[in-house]
Structure formats: structure tokens, C-alpha cells
Amino acid sequence: MSRLQLSFKDYQEKITLTFCIIISFIFIFNNDSDLIKNAKINSLNSFSFLYQPFNWLDNQLFLNKKLEVLSSENLRLSLENQVLKVHEAENIRFREFLNFKKRENIDFIGADVISKGINANMSSIIINRGSNDGVSKNLPVLSSKGVIGKITAVSNSSSEVQLISDVNFRLSVKIAPDEVEGIMRWIREDICEIAELKKISDIEIGDIVLTSNLSIYFPPNLPIGEVVGIFEKSDSSNRIVTMRLFSDLSTLNQLFVLFSEVEN
């Protein structure tokens, strides 16, 4: 007896069983009887039920990955939006001041605030313009909305600005439209006081406060603020006016240093 025959004889039962199982599956899946169809459906439903947890887990992993991608994209867009807002605000400030320049015939240079000091009530700040840029002491400094101070110290590439909020700061001003003149000093936050105004002067709430012709370092007609209060002194021939600054001193970023008025 050959070796092949001996091997077949040893595994005859296993081979026969495997062959029968294969033939059975062929008949089952190629049979169109209702019994076989029901068996197929039941088996498929069983396998589908067993697969559901794996399918759910796969979907959760996909959703988590998608959420991570969307979160990253949202952060990127949010940062880009903030940068655009900063550029938009800066552009608006420059446009406002350029319009003012055209109207008042002045020359200026833009500057960024690089230090705001450590005091809660700021009295001075540092800007990134100095003598190399033509800046010198006592030049007026404005935001896009109005006067905020003047240059008090200069280095090659930076300068110190004394703010209106310095208790020692004084400025000769006039109140439009009647151009009543007085001396302005800071009181608190964005509120200043104008003293030495004649009682007979015609002043109303909302009148605009400008630099006067009597100011030594500031050219006339620079905007400062508006009148918010008028007080009479019974023991004096003068009255006191309170005004609100146009500029917010707590949010200074981009400023403008004014040079001498441009000749026509």
C-alpha cells in the first residue's frame, strides 16, 4: 500500500467531514427555499447584532477625530479673525487721523506704545519714536480722536509721553463755538476740569473743547473732548466746566506725534 493511501486512511474521517461541511454550505447558500432563506436572514441578523458595538466604536473614533480637526480649524480661524480686527481698528484710526490732517494742514509721524508703566492711573507712556525720527521735546501727541499728551523726554529710538492724566499737566483750551478760553487739568479717569472761564460766557453741554491759540506747544484747534458739566461759583466771577476726553487713555496703542504746522 502506497504512502498516499496510508495518509488518506489516517485522515479519512477529517477529510470526509470537511468535504461534507463545504458541500452543505454550498447547498445552503444556493438554495432558494423559504427555510434556507430564513436561516440566512437569521444568521445575518445575528452577525449584524454582534457587529454593532464595533461599528459604534468605529463611528465614535471617526467623530472624535473630526471634532479635533474642526476644533483646530476653529482656533486657527479665530486667531486670524482677531488679527484682522486689530488691523481693521488700526486702519480706521489712521484714516480718521489722515482726514483730520487734511482738514487742519498738519504733519505727523505714527508711533506705537511700547510701555504703559506700572501705575493704575498712568501719567506717562513710552513710544517707539525718538530723535532718529525727528521727535523732540514738547511736541504734541494725539490718538486718532484727540490730544492725549506731549513729549517730555527723547532718546534715539524712543520717547516719553506725559499724559493728560498727569496731575501736573496743564493745557490752554477753548470751548467752541464761542471760543471761550480756560485752563484744563485732569480730575479722574476720562474727566477733566476747565477753570478760569468767565460767567458771562455762553457754554452748553456737548460743546467741543479744542486747543487754544494761547498754547505754547500745541497748535490751535486740536480736538480734546466735550463739555459734560457746568458749575457756577457763587463767590467768584468765574465758572468751572467738566469735560470728557475723546480718547480713552487706558487703551492707547497707536499714536501720532505732531510736528510744526505745514506751511501753505
Boundaries of every domain in the chain: 108-258
Task: Please give the radius of gyration of the chain, using alpha carbons only, rounded to the nearest integer.
Answer: 42
How much is the pLDDT for 253? 85
Nearest-10 Cα torsion for 186, 110, 138, 212: -60
Rounded to the nearest integer, the mean pLDDT of the chain is 76
**Placement of cell 471761550 in the chain:** 180
SS (H, E, C) 101-151: HHHHCCCEEEEEEEECCCCCCCCEEEECCCHHHCCCCCCEEECCCCEEEEE
Residue ranges in the chain assigned as alpha helix (H): 3-10, 12-29, 34-104
What is d(CA 147, CA 224) in angstroms, rounded to the nearest whole number? 5
SS3 for 40?
helix
Mean pLDDT, to the nearest integer, of 196-214? 86
State the CATH architecture for 108-258.
Beta Barrel (2.40)
C-alpha to C-alpha distances, 160 to 65, 81, 109, 138, 216, nearest whole angstrom:
52, 32, 15, 10, 19
Summarize pLDDT for 165-184 with one digit per residue, the tens. 999 999 999 998 888 899 99
pLDDT-based confidence at 262, cuts 50/70/90? very low
Summarize pLDDT for 43-75 with one digit per residue, the tens. 555 555 555 665 666 666 767 777 767 766 665
CB atoms within 10 A of CB 97: 20
How much is the pLDDT for 38? 60
Mean pLDDT, to the nearest integer, of 211-239? 84
What is d(CA 218, CA 173) in angstroms, rounded to the nearest whole number? 10
Cα 51 to the center of its chain, rounded Å: 50
pLDDT-based confidence at 129, cuts 50/70/90? very high
